[in-house]
Amino acid sequence: MPDTDWKQLAAAIADDLAIRAPSSLVPAGPLCLPGGEPESWAKLPLFARSSAAAPAHHLLATLYAEQARLANEVHPKNENSAYQHMDEAGAVALENWGRRLDSWTIEAELRCANECRAGAILERGAPPTRLHRPVQAP
């Protein structure tokens, strides 16, 4: 897998989902998943940190924050959310947006797992090739 141009990937995600990526509302530091695990290994970043990987951490944190926001929006107990009052077409559109968000999250996770900057040269200008495609509802 070629190295990822994280700024280009963030721009593609922002364009597709109409969000600001990476968001200034999430921490730009190493991504550590929240959890109650007391072990020290559970508090380590999700993947290796480096100056080259910092944009990856920030982008993935943005996608996780968007997933949390969407989960809150569509939760059945959130009776005052806009989703609960949408017509069928609006609900399908939001659900498809959520599927695209999930697909971009998987895409970013795959790229983060394969992040390696040992002297590799980026192929600048070429659009990123998708590793994961979303499934759309009919």
Dist. CA 31–CA 61, nearest whole Å: 6
36-54 burial code (b ≥16 CB/10 A, e <16): eeeeeeeeeebbeeeeebe
Mean pLDDT of 75-95: 90
| C-alpha span between 30 and 56 (Å, rounded) | 9
How far is the first Cα of the chain from the last one, in angstroms, to the nearest whole number? 32
Q: Is the predicted pLDDT of residue 133 greater than 50, yes or no?
A: yes
Distance separating alpha carbons of residues 1 and 4, to the nearest angstrom: 9
Domains held by the chain: number: 1
Confidence band for 132, pLDDT divided at 50, 70 and 90: confident
Assigned domain for 61 exists = yes
At 119, the pLDDT band (50, 70, 90 cuts) reads: very low
| Site of tokens 């530091």 | 29
> What is the spatial distance between Cα 65 and Cα 20, in angstroms, rounded to a whole number?
12
**Section 110-125 average pLDDT:** 60
Q: Is residue 107 part of a domain?
A: yes
Domain that holds residue 4: 1-16+56-116
Tell me, yes or no, whether 100 lies in a domain.
Answer: yes
